[in-house]
Amino acid sequence: MIDRVVAVAPETLTAEATVPEQSPVFEGHFPGHPLVPGVLLVETMAQASGYLLMARNNFTRMPFLAAVREAKLRSWVTPGTLLTIEATLVHDGSGYAITAGRVSADGKRICDAELTLRTLPFPAPELEATLRAQAARIGLTGAVPA
């Protein structure tokens, strides 16, 4: 879902995403009242957290979402909304990390959660290549020191 990374530092990453005007998701969620599903907002925070961790480890390990705590969906998100997604490192453990995710729109807090991600060596070279390419596409071109 992330369109572009706008800033990255050793412990924070900020990204943006514009919700499309049209999407099959809105056909069911909900007819005549399109809203971005909350699980996709959580996924967006997980993606930002994952890119932060991969930037820290120079794309040597793949983060996998393992737990979501205290997820709060505070406001509806409608088609065309520009979202700002922030991931902040809370703790860098051995084989896992904890991040704080936050999504806002026009300065208003939309949702937040604490995320746990396991980090493992990439299980497949094509996955590593795909993620490196995707990171470059969204503007995450270099590693940041952990």
Partner 1 sequence: MASAFDRIADIIAETSDVPREKITPDSHVIEDLGIDSLDFLDIVFAIDKAFGIKVPVEAWTQEVNSGQTPAEQYFVMKNLAARIEELVAAKPASA
Residues with catalytic annotation? 29
Question: Smallest gap, in angstroms, from Cβ of residue 90 to partner 1?
Answer: 9
Site for partner 1 in 4-63 (CB under 8 A): none
Whether the Cβ atoms of residue 86 and residue 120 lie closer than 8 Å to each other: no
Selected range binding partner 1 among 17-25, 31-39, 45-53, 90-98, rule: CB under 8 A: 90-98
CB of 40 to partner 1, least distance (A): 23
Distance CA 12, CA 129 (A): 23
Number of H helices, E strands in the chain: 3, 6
98 is a contact residue toward partner 1 (CB under 8 A)? yes
The reply to whether 116 sits near partner 1 by the rule CB under 8 A is yes
Interaction of residue 123 with partner 1, rule CB under 8 A? no
Beta carbons of 58 and 66 less than 8 angstroms apart: no
Torsional class of 70: left (φ above 0), alpha (ψ -120 to 50), beta (otherwise): left
- Residues in contact with partner 1 by CB under 8 A are 66-67, 91-96, 98, 116, 118
